[in-house]
Structure 1
Amino acid sequence: MPKIAVFDSGLGSLSVIKPIQKRTRSEIIYFADQKNYPYGTKTVSQLDKIIKNTISKLQENFSPDVIVVGSNTPSLLLDIEKKDKIIGVYPPLKDAALKTRSKKIGILGTQVAVQNKALDKYIKKNLSSKITVAKINATPLVDLVESGKFILQKQQTKKIIKKIITPYVDDGIDIFTLSSTHLPFLLPMFKELFPKIVFLDPADSIAKQIAKIFERKVPARRKLKIYTSGDAVKFQKQLSKIGIKNTVSSL
């Protein structure tokens, strides 16, 4: 059975795992690196050390066929796509360029990601200069997801979403990329508040990549094992609030 390890600093990886489960039958190792949450405030050198250590830990403990770095921030800053058997998550800019009518795109990401030159290089590589891009710090929204407050404090969450996004919609942006894997959890609210705006989740493109790798391997069933570098009991309670009943183990 193909074995896929997916990790992030918290809940974010779950938004990547669901599309993978739809497209492949595999054993998925989900590692929530909560000890190092949030990745989005770390320096490049700190991230480099964390990601290398985490990849080594996953390789030593599980020997996965593929490791998915389920976070836009380290994927961009550390150029993950150049590493063998490791897949990163990136803003789906080419897809956004095909769908925008106003030629204005918003990238919702962590503070470190939107302020780093690595994102500028990625934009230049993947978009025409005719398209205007706004890089938007969505760290407050990421924190709402990781803390679980988006479930218990829906009205406050919607208020913060409107405060962050409305100025850019008023400026003519018609497409936003969800360039933190935490943000797809807020997609129902995004659609409710801005029904005419498109919000792009890169997770499905990751699932397609993985499906191609394992297209000849068809195991009998799917498996999901969950680990955390933080408090396993606390994280299991957090997951249960969004309907995930799997046992959480420490790693």
Structure 2
Amino acid sequence: MNENRKKIGVLDSGVGGLTVVKELEQLLPNEDIVYFGDNKNCPYGNRTADNIVEIARSTIGFLQNKDIKAVVVACNTTSSLIHRFEKDYPFPIFSIIKPAAQYVVQHKLPSIGVIGTELTIKTGCYERLIHDGNADIAVYGEPSHNLAALVDCGRFDMTAITDEITVHMNHLLEQHPVKHVIYGCTHYPIVGEVFECVAPGVQFINPALEQARAVADYLKEHSLLNDTAGHSFDIYMSGSKAVYEAVLQRLQIKTPAIIHSV
């Protein structure tokens, strides 16, 4: 198969990676996308690092059989461990953390908050990458044990979601009154309006957008863009089809998705 016509593979622990698909759809309207949502193992942030790497390798192997030209790791927790597997494949693997960290450095932000899963915060992955670019930027992490799972279940219990976001944003801002906060989990932009309501004085940085830009730049630079009109979107998931349909509708993703259970 012509390399340009190959697909972009996207992997996540559940529905959160659909926020990346939304950005890819807007920036790369001709690209075919194949998505793997590993709902049965969500949330990754409460698992061991070795277990997450094992799951990542299995998922990438699955995507590799779908004629892909790149893999987009939409999961922050998995991206925090990407150095353990990214060089083992014949196609590029994109972290969701690195582009967001580069955004913070390029815009010379004096301080930044990061709200994410427990493991993402524990690894210090954002702090490490940001400090590689500018050691003077203060980085403050705020871990949430429950928020990713509350969103991934698809019920959108807005009372529980709002309570969880309020507790963590208040805790972060009381200690460190930052003006910018990174969504350190791709599930979080799905309920972005709650974050904005709870913390109206904060500008939230969406790594899904920065990652999609990095993918688009790479494909352009390497002449790998699909210039054929029309594209496909296949979802392989181990969860509930109804949850995916609800999130697709909530995110207003236009491309019709074919949803497969695995």
TM class, shorter-chain normalised?
Answer: 0.7 to 0.9
Relative to structure 2, which stretch is displaced further, 1-10 or 75-84?
Answer: 75-84
Instruction: Write the letter of the residue equivalent to 1:77.
Output: L
User: Which whole-Å CA distance do the structure 1 matches of 2:129 and 2:233 have between them?
Assistant: 32
**Residues 199, 119 of structure 1: alpha-carbon distance in 2 compared, 3 angstrom cutoff:** closer
Partner of 1:27: 32
The match for 2:120 among 113, 128, 131 is 113
Partner of 1:212: 217
Length-normalised TM-score, structure 1: 0.87
Instruction: Write the letter of the residue equivalent to 1:239.
Output: Y
Partner of 2:101: 93
Partner of 2:132: 125
The match for 1:192 among 169, 188, 197 is 197
Asked if structure 2 preserves the Cα contact closer than 8 Å seen for 1:191 and 1:197, the reply is: yes
Partner of 2:233: 224
Q: CA deviation at 1:124?
A: 2.8
**Residues 213, 81 of structure 1: alpha-carbon distance in 2 compared, 3 angstrom cutoff:** farther
Q: CA deviation at 1:80?
A: 6.6
Partner of 1:248: 259
**Residues 156, 49 of structure 1: alpha-carbon distance in 2 compared, 3 angstrom cutoff:** closer
Asked if structure 1 preserves the Cα contact closer than 8 Å seen for 2:169 and 2:198, the reply is: no
Asked if structure 1 preserves the Cα contact closer than 8 Å seen for 2:13 and 2:42, the reply is: yes
Q: CA deviation at 1:118?
A: 4.6
Instruction: Write the letter of the residue equivalent to 2:231.
Output: R
User: Which whole-Å CA distance do the structure 2 matches of 1:166 and 1:74 have between them?
Assistant: 27
Q: CA deviation at 1:162?
A: 1.1
Q: Structure 1 vs Structure 2: percent identity of aligned residues?
A: 25
Q: Does residue 75 of the first structure (1) align with residue 79 of the second (2)?
A: yes
User: Which whole-Å CA distance do the structure 1 matches of 2:177 and 2:194 have between them?
Assistant: 20
Asked if structure 2 preserves the Cα contact closer than 8 Å seen for 1:10 and 1:37, the reply is: yes
**Residues 120, 141 of structure 1: alpha-carbon distance in 2 compared, 3 angstrom cutoff:** same
The match for 1:163 among 157, 164, 167 is 167
Asked if structure 2 preserves the Cα contact closer than 8 Å seen for 1:39 and 1:47, the reply is: yes
Q: CA deviation at 1:168?
A: 2.1
User: Which whole-Å CA distance do the structure 2 matches of 1:134 and 1:36 have between them?
Assistant: 27
How many residues were matched structurally?
242
Q: CA deviation at 1:178?
A: 0.6
Partner of 1:14: 18
Q: Does residue 137 of the first structure (1) align with residue 143 of the second (2)?
A: yes
Asked if structure 1 preserves the Cα contact closer than 8 Å seen for 2:147 and 2:164, the reply is: yes
List gaps (5 residues or longer) in structure 2: none
User: Which whole-Å CA distance do the structure 2 matches of 1:99 and 1:188 have between them?
Assistant: 24
Instruction: Write the letter of the residue equivalent to 2:147.
Output: L
Instruction: Write the letter of the residue equivalent to 2:141.
Output: K
Instruction: Write the letter of the residue equivalent to 1:156.
Output: A
Relative to structure 2, which stretch is displaced further, 76-85 or 160-169?
Answer: 76-85
List gaps (5 residues or longer) in structure 1: none
